[in-house]
Structure formats: C-alpha cells, structure tokens
Amino acid sequence: MKKINVLKPVLVSNQQRARENRKVFDKMNSLVINIIGSPGAGKTSFIKNIVTNLKTKYKILVIEGDIKGQIDSKTISRLGVDVIQINTVTECHLDAFMTAQALGRIKKKYDLVLVENVGNLVCPAEFEIGEDYKLAILSTPEGDDKPLKYPLLFHLARVIVINKCDLLPYVDFGVGDAIRNIRKENPGATIFEVAAKTGAGFDKVCKHLEKEIHARKKKNTR
Amino acid sequence: MHEFSVTRSLVELCEQEASRNNMKTVRRINLKVGKFTGFSPDSINFYFEHLKADTRCHSACLVFEEIPIKIACRDCHGQHVIEEPTLLCPKCGSDKIELVSGREFFVASIEGE
C-alpha cells in the first residue's frame, strides 16, 4: 500500500471558481455582498429597502438564491431593477458554481450586486461565491443568543444587521446582549439596527454602502 | 445538509489525486477538520457510503483528525487553544485576537494501491 500526500482543501474547486467569479465582478467594478440569514429573517425586505433607496443613484443587480420558486425575484423585479433567480433544488446554500451560472447571464455592468443566499444560518457560511464580503441578518424574534449558537457565520460576516427592531417591545431580545454576543465572535464587525417593515435605520446602512461602492471603484481604478 | 456537496467534492478530489498518481484503489482517506467549521463527520460518512460507489474510493474509509481552535492574542502575545469559538483571549480578555487554526478542512493524504 502506498501513501500520497494531498494537502488540498476539500472545497478547492469551489474556492478556485469563487476566485474566477471575483475576477468577473472586478472587471465590472461591482461591490458584491453575500446576504445570509435564517428563513424569515427579512433578507428580501432588507434588499427591497436598499434597492428603493439607492436605485436612482446606482446600477443594482439582485441575485436571488432559493431552493424552489420565483417569489423573491418577482418581488424585486417589481422595483425596477435587474434580478436573476437561481434555484438550488437540493442544495441548502449557493456555491461558486451556481453563482458562475448567474454570472453567465449578466449583460451589463453594475455598481452593486446583492446576492440573497438560501435561508440558512449554517451551510451558506462555508461556501465562497466570489463576494466582497458576507452580510448576516439576525431578526429580533430569533433571539439574541443566535450569534453564540451559529458562531461561524457571525465570525465571517463583515456587516451584521439586526432586523425587526420595531418588534422589540413584543419579543424577548436584548439589543445590548445581541451586540455583546456578536462581538465575542467578531470584534470588528459593523453592526446596524433596522426595521425593514418601517424603513427605520436604513439611512445609516445606505450611507455605509455608498461609501463602500465608491471605495470599490477607487480601488479598481488605481 | 451541505455535507452532500462537500462529500461530492471530497470524492472528486480523491478520484483526481488517485488517478494522477496511478492509485487504482483508495483504501483510506486521511482528513483534517478544524473545530471551527460546520462539517459533521457523521454526515460526511453517511453521504460518502453512497457517493464512493463506482469510483476509485469504493472500498475506502474516512479517517478524521480534528484540528483545535487556536487563537493568538495581540495584547498579551499568548497563543491559546479554546474549546468554544468565543474569540476573546482567555488570559487577558482582549478582543484583539487572531485565529491561528480551526478553520481547516483538507485531505492530508490518501492510501491505497
């Protein structure tokens, strides 16, 4: 019996594909955000707010990842921006190969690409798709302990959004506790508190995104 | 559930490596798995039993070695192995820490003939 040293990551092909996707996004000068959260955390409503606020100033593309159906892509296309739906069928996350298929359908350049991953706090965290960064959404009915129960996502996300803050009087959720729990996994994360239903807090999120869109363009023209 | 696609990648990678090195039958796949990943060895084994059929790995077994979560503190300059991925220095409480290990998931080697 012989032994061969391999020393390669199991997800090596996904990582390579993600790097290729990254090059395509770089050519377009796009800021690409991989949005991850539980089913019902408000990922689509979050995207709707961003799109409504920024669509007149920037060219936005939304990529919708769902196991089945076109519900979210129909919701987003009603706002008048381009949207591509990916159905993952059996998979609980988007990977770099599925994203590459969506990339093949892109005909224009976009300033901002928002990718809504499949609703799940576990699996999507492991798969790079070629994004600039991951944004995690935690909604108040889910509980302030979730960053400790699903540490990987909250560790990897550069931006973390606490959504449904309009429900705070009715749910058992301490914003201070949630932030402390997030900081234990990710001391440097940028945290926003919003209510996608009312639009509260989105001025700050949009200002932040605008800064990043401009920084992204500068970086690429250097 | 994501272990299905992870295991599929694992079988593909081992198949490629075995073929490149003229290994007809893989008997053992040595894996290193960081404790700060979301991969469950039980799930990977479950899918592997189905996915290995008709490949060079059909009679292979998986051997997992866990890599602990290790952090380095930029304040007290210590390195610590931690049980839970709470990224605070267990010695001085600082949050200026760097993850040294725990996020790995790779095939270390394959054995066979």
Nearest to B9 by CA among A155, A101, A126, A154: A126
Q: How far apart are CA A93 and CA A125, in angstroms?
A: 8
Residue A176 has pLDDT above 80, yes or no: yes
Q: Which fold has domain A12-217?
A: Rossmann fold (3.40.50)
Q: How far apart are CA A10 and CA A160, in angstroms?
A: 28
Residue A220 has pLDDT above 70, yes or no: no
Contacts of B104 in chain A (CB under 8 A): 9
CB-based contact (8 Å) between A93 and chain B? Answer: yes
Per-residue pLDDT reduced to its tens digit, A46-79? 999 999 999 999 999 999 998 899 999 999 999 9
CA–CA min distance A171, chain B (Å): 25
Residue B3 has pLDDT above 90, yes or no: no
CB-based contact (8 Å) between A59 and chain B? Answer: no
Cβ–Cβ gap B95/A187 under 8 Å? yes
Query: What residues contact residue B30 under an 8 Å CB cut-off, 6+ apart?
Result: B63, B65, B107, B108, B109, B110, B111
Give me the domains of chain B, ranges plus CATH numbers: 3-112 (3.30.2320.80)
Residue B1 has pLDDT above 80, yes or no: no
CB A135 within 8 A of CB A35: yes
CA–CA min distance B17, chain A (Å): 7
Cβ–Cβ gap A127/B2 under 8 Å? yes
Please report, for chain A, the start and end positions of each structural domain, with discontinuous segments joined by +. 12-217
CB A11 within 8 A of CB B108: no
Q: How far apart are CA A77 and CA B103, in angstroms?
A: 38
Threshold 0.80, pTM exceeds:
yes
Cβ–Cβ gap B107/A6 under 8 Å? yes
CA–CA min distance B49, chain A (Å): 17
Cβ–Cβ gap A151/B36 under 8 Å? yes
Query: What's the rounded mean pLDDT across residues A26-39?
Result: 96
pLDDT at A221: 64
Residue B54 has pLDDT above 80, yes or no: yes
User: 3-class SS at B76?
Assistant: coil
Mean pLDDT estimate for chain A? 95
Residue ranges of A 159-218 with Cβ closer than 8 A to chain B: 183-187
Query: What's the rounded mean pLDDT across residues B3-10?
Result: 92
Name the band, by pLDDT with cuts 50, 70 and 90, for residue B40: confident
Cβ–Cβ gap A93/B111 under 8 Å? no
Neighbours of A167 (CB within 10 A): 14
Exposed / middle / buried, residue A168 (Cβ in 10 Å: 0-12, 13-18, 19+): middle
CB B56 within 8 A of CB B43: no
Nearest to B97 by CA among A176, A78, A185: A185
pLDDT at A222: 54
**A102 CB-side CA count, 13 A:** 28
**Residue A71 CA from chain centroid, whole number:** 18
Query: What residues contact residue A155 under an 8 Å CB cut-off, 6+ apart?
Result: A185, A186, B36, B85, B87
User: 3-class SS at A127?
Assistant: coil
Name the band, by pLDDT with cuts 50, 70 and 90, for residue A190: very high
CA–CA min distance A2, chain B (Å): 6
